[in-house]
Amino acid sequence: MLLAQRQSKRLTITQIAKEAGVSTTTVSKVLNQLPGVGEQTRARIQAMIEQHDYVQNHAARHLRKGQSGLIDLVIMRLEGGYDIGIMKGVQEVLEESGHRLVISTTNEDEDIERRWLRRIQDQATDGVLLLLPYERIGIADTLMAHNIPVIAIGDRNEPTTAYPTIGSTIWLGGYTATEYLISLGHRRIGIITGPLHLTTSRARLAGYREALERANIPVDPTLICEGNYLLGDGVQQTFALLKHPDPPTAIFAGNDAQAAGVYQALYQHNIRIPDLMSVIGFDDVTYAAQMSPPLTTIHQPLVEMGKMAANLLLRLIAGQTLESNHVELSTSLVLRTSCAPPRQESLPI
Amino acid sequence: MLLAQRQSKRLTITQIAKEAGVSTTTVSKVLNQLPGVGEQTRARIQAMIEQHDYVQNHAARHLRKGQSGLIDLVIMRLEGGYDIGIMKGVQEVLEESGHRLVISTTNEDEDIERRWLRRIQDQATDGVLLLLPYERIGIADTLMAHNIPVIAIGDRNEPTTAYPTIGSTIWLGGYTATEYLISLGHRRIGIITGPLHLTTSRARLAGYREALERANIPVDPTLICEGNYLLGDGVQQTFALLKHPDPPTAIFAGNDAQAAGVYQALYQHNIRIPDLMSVIGFDDVTYAAQMSPPLTTIHQPLVEMGKMAANLLLRLIAGQTLESNHVELSTSLVLRTSCAPPRQESLPI
């Protein structure tokens, strides 16, 4: 791994101390320009540090360049799902570049957003990553108006945006999920979408339709339910699907939170997954693997999206021009144990 | 709520613009000392802002006091469980105080920890919150040696520490969980502890013993299993408990991740919760309510612990003396649907 290779070229304090024949405290004093080290020793350690390209004072480096060394990540709400993967990826890149990651949450509160915008204009930031719903993305325009580099993470709702965006291949994910269920033998597949005014929700649904059409399975509109990406929507829409005169044998949930809701509704009716109902999710958040049974889902490369966003932001900060204003990373199918061939018996309801 | 009250005293840009009869852009220009506003208008808006005690330039405020306005939170690993609650609480307090939250993750990598320690000594920070396992807590000593205010979150392993720590009433939580199962009629209660070299794991077990002894139920050592707080431990130890000649009717998992493992093991054996087995967790992380069935668990007040830690750190930074070097907030029982009276039939295995 490149990261590990680059790290290994740097010497640790312990290694420098050993090579110089002094204590780590002495090396630390030199690094931090503290008193208590003889001039000769100091010069010798300093030379050794420079010789080994010991990158230590990132803050000073950034300040020399007129930069703060701070990158802001603004999240609507800390939920422990989608947000964690993105944060991990961003953190990994910034740990390597020596930037510090500042986290803010807005909780969809306009006052907090406004105050945050005010502060970010006053305060030092090298650039901003936004993880916000589309309704709030006006923030990006304000940042751009103040010449603050900005990149939005999460698929865009409009085909073009003034600021760069990082997303994943959502339509293909919807297609892959549905095609997989069809390959297991399913013909009646329910879908619980996200809000259908969002392009990303429509993309999942369009992928679902595409897979059905390719397999010559007619689209049954009574199997299409709209949710709001919340667990409760998964519960309610599953109850509705179970009341259908000809209920589906598989359910495709628009995100993993809704899939958790599908699980709860099925558990209440004692309908075993995958024996009596297959369930597939979308996102592959941390808890997907912790569900019972572990959830088969469409993996959004959240960590990689965070890394890509951070890397592109660093390039913007360095004054480079990006190849494209929108980048999509590939979704993929993660096979766990929540899908199986369709049931041969009727549902126990 | 105090937060809301304090916020409402400040004027928004819109309110100032309205009162001054100018556009919000004009107000923004004055706030950010940008050109394009006539001197008279600028003076009028400036006076209005000062009159209303419009707190905007936190960065400048902090710099005047020789502070950076930055608080660091160091997390071992971003997991989307315990960490999210703590982060939320810290964020809420810092949003109000006007500090910015810098997040670092160490991933238990000693090189990353060492580099982080080096940077934090070079770079501006007003104080540090640590969310790390005990083995790594030596970091706190280094920070203290550099006069950087530090508070550790999570229950301490040693009865005394040189730095302040924030925890919760773990022993009482273990007692409450077990007492609740006893109140439902359970007599054979399995427990999957954390690593028993940790005081906090032993505290849960001691609480379990205490509840059994108070109810005159003999402690059966064959029902006590040791885990490592990971999902896989929950799975494996549940399989072991199910092979017991006289298996328990309820399982107390040392944390919610292990409880998710208990769920998976029971699901594989088609043992319904709570009908055939009651399960109780510990922590009350975000996904506890998303499990099927929703997990009854011991709530650690994670958000409040984060808030308390941030508030105490701000007091340390202000040079105040804390009342105590260790503060515990109360755990509590959260009733969901994973516990019921003991089964009357035998297990289907």
Say yes or no for a CB contact (<8 Å) between B112 and A91.
Answer: no
Q: How far apart, in whole angstroms, are the C-alpha atoms of residue B173 and residue A29?
A: 45
Question: What are B320's two structure tokens?
Answer: 């105040």
Q: Which of A260, A206, A215, A212 is nearest to A233 (CA)?
A: A260
- What amino acid is encoded at B344 in this protein? Q
- ipTM of this model? 0.76
3-state SS, residue B11: coil
Q: Which residue of A31, A64, A88, A122 to mutate against B (max B Cβ within 10 Å)?
A: A122
- pLDDT tens for B70-121 read 999 999 888 888 899 999 999 999 999 989 999 999 887 888 888 888 888 7
Residue A111 at interface with chain B, using a CB cutoff of 8 Å: yes
Closest chain A CA to residue B25: A142
Give me the phi and psi of B191, to 5 degrees please.
-130, 135
Are B211 and B252 within 8 A, CB to CB?
Answer: no
Provide the pLDDT for residue A3: 31
Question: Per residue in B17-49, is it b (16+ CB within 10 Å) or e — as a string?
Answer: beebebeeebbbbbbeeeeebeeebbebbeebb
Label residue B60 by pLDDT band (50, 70, 90): very low
Facing A263 at nearest CB: one of B91, B121, B292: B292
B162-177 residue pLDDT tens:
889 999 999 999 999 9
β-pair type (B189-193, B150-153): unpaired
Instruction: Quote the DSSP letter at residue B294.
Output: P
Three-state DSSP string of A277-326: CEEEEEECCHHHHHCCCCCEEEECCHHHHHHHHHHHHHHHHCCCCCCCCE
Identity of the amino acid at A151: I
Residue B209, pLDDT above cutoff 50: yes
Tell me how crowded residue A10 is: count the other CB atoms within 10 A of its CB.
14
Q: What percent of chain B shows pLDDT beyond 70?
A: 87
- By Cβ distance, the residue of B60, B102, B260 closest to A101 is B102
Higher pLDDT pick, B147 / B216: B216
CB-based contacts of B245, cutoff 8 Å, min separation 6? none
Give alpha helix (H) positions in B184-255.
Answer: 199-214, 231-242
The pLDDT of residue B153: 92
Ordered strands of the B189-193 beta sheet: B224-226, B189-193, B250-253, B278-283, B296-299, B332-334
Q: Is B270 on the interface with A (CB under 8 A)?
A: yes
pLDDT in tens, B7-36: 334 456 667 777 788 877 787 677 656 677
Which pLDDT value is given to residue B20? 80
Interface contact A41, partner B, CB < 8 A: no
Q: Which of B84, B101, B267 sits opposite A293 (nearest CB)?
A: B267
Number of A–B residue contacts, CB under 8 Å: 158
Q: Which of B71, B82, B94, B95 to mutate to test the interface with A (most CBs of A within 10 A)?
A: B95
DSSP state of B156: -
> What is the four-CA torsion angle of A27, A28, A30, A33, rounded to 10 degrees?
180
Q: What are phi and psi of A47, to 5 degrees?
A: -60, -45
Is B231 within 8 Å of chain A by CB? yes
CA B235 to chain centre: 25
pLDDT band of residue B51 (cuts 50, 70, 90) is low
Instruction: Report d(CA B324, CA B343) in Å as an integer.
Output: 46
CB nearest to B122's CB, from A32, A87, A102: A32
Residue type, A204: R
Residue B150 phi/psi, 5° resolution?
Answer: -145, 140
Sequence-ordered alpha helix ranges (H) in A125-255: 138-145, 170-183, 199-214, 231-242
Prior bond to A274 cis, omega within 30? yes
Q: Tens of pLDDT along chain A (349 residues)?
A: 233 333 334 456 667 777 788 877 787 677 656 677 888 888 888 777 666 544 444 444 454 456 788 999 999 888 888 899 999 999 999 999 989 999 999 887 888 888 888 888 777 899 999 997 766 668 888 888 888 999 999 867 777 788 899 999 999 999 999 999 999 999 999 999 999 998 889 999 999 999 999 999 999 999 999 999 999 999 999 999 999 999 999 999 999 999 999 999 999 999 999 999 999 999 999 899 999 999 999 999 999 999 999 999 999 999 999 988 899 999 999 999 999 999 998 898 7
A-chain residues near B70 (CB < 8 A) = 70, 100, 102
Inter-chain CB proximity A267 and B12 less than 8 Å: no
Whether the pLDDT of residue B3 is over 90: the answer is: no
Q: Is B304 on the interface with A (CB under 8 A)?
A: no
DSSP character at residue A131: E
Beta-carbon contacts of residue A274 (< 8 Å; ≥ 6 apart): A293, A337, A338, A339, A340
Q: What pLDDT is recorded for position B339? A: 98
A285 to chain B: closest CA residue: B80
User: How many other C-beta atoms can be found within 10 angstroms of the C-beta atom of residue A49?
Assistant: 19
Structural domains of chain A ordered from first start: 2-50 (1.10.260.40), 66-168+302-330 (3.40.50.2300), 170-300 (3.40.50.2300)
Question: What confidence score (pLDDT) does residue A126 get?
Answer: 93
Distance from CA of A258 to the nearest CA of B (A): 10
User: For residue B65, is pLDDT > 70?
Assistant: no
A69 interface with B at CB cutoff 8 Å: yes
Report the Cα–Cα distance between both ends of chain B, in Å, rounded: 53
Residue B178, C-beta contacts closer than 8 angstroms, at least 6 positions apart:
B189, B191, B207, B208, B210, B211, B212, B252
Are B65 and B319 contacting, i.e. CB atoms less than 8 angstroms apart? no
What lies within 8 Å, CB to CB, of B236 at 6+ separation is B227, B261, B265
Suggest the residue from B7, B70, B103 to mutate for an interface test with chain A (most A CBs closer than 10 A): B103
A341 Cβ under 8 Å from any chain B Cβ: no
| pLDDT score recorded for residue A49 | 67
Residue B94, φ and ψ in degrees, nearest 5: -75, -30
A218/chain B closest Cα distance in angstroms: 33
Is some CB atom of chain A closer than 8 A to the CB atom of B323? no
Judge: A32–B103 Cβ closer than 8 Å, yes or no.
no
Could you read off the pLDDT of B259-280 as tens digits, one per residue?
999 999 999 999 999 999 999 9
Q: Output the pLDDT for position A145.
A: 86
Q: Which residue has the higher pLDDT, B11 or B222?
A: B222
Q: How far is B156 from chain A (nearest CA, A)?
A: 25
Distance from C-alpha of B205 to C-alpha of B299, rounded to nearest angstrom: 17
| C-alpha span between B337 and B273 (Å, rounded) | 8
Nearest by Cα to A332 from A176, A184, A147, A105: A176
Asked whether the beta carbons of residue A292 and residue B260 sit closer than 8 angstroms, the reply is yes
Contact (CB<8Å) B122/A270: no
Q: CB distance A79–B231 less than 8 Å?
A: no
Q: Å from A204 to nearest chain B CA?
A: 23
d(CA B174, CA B180): 10
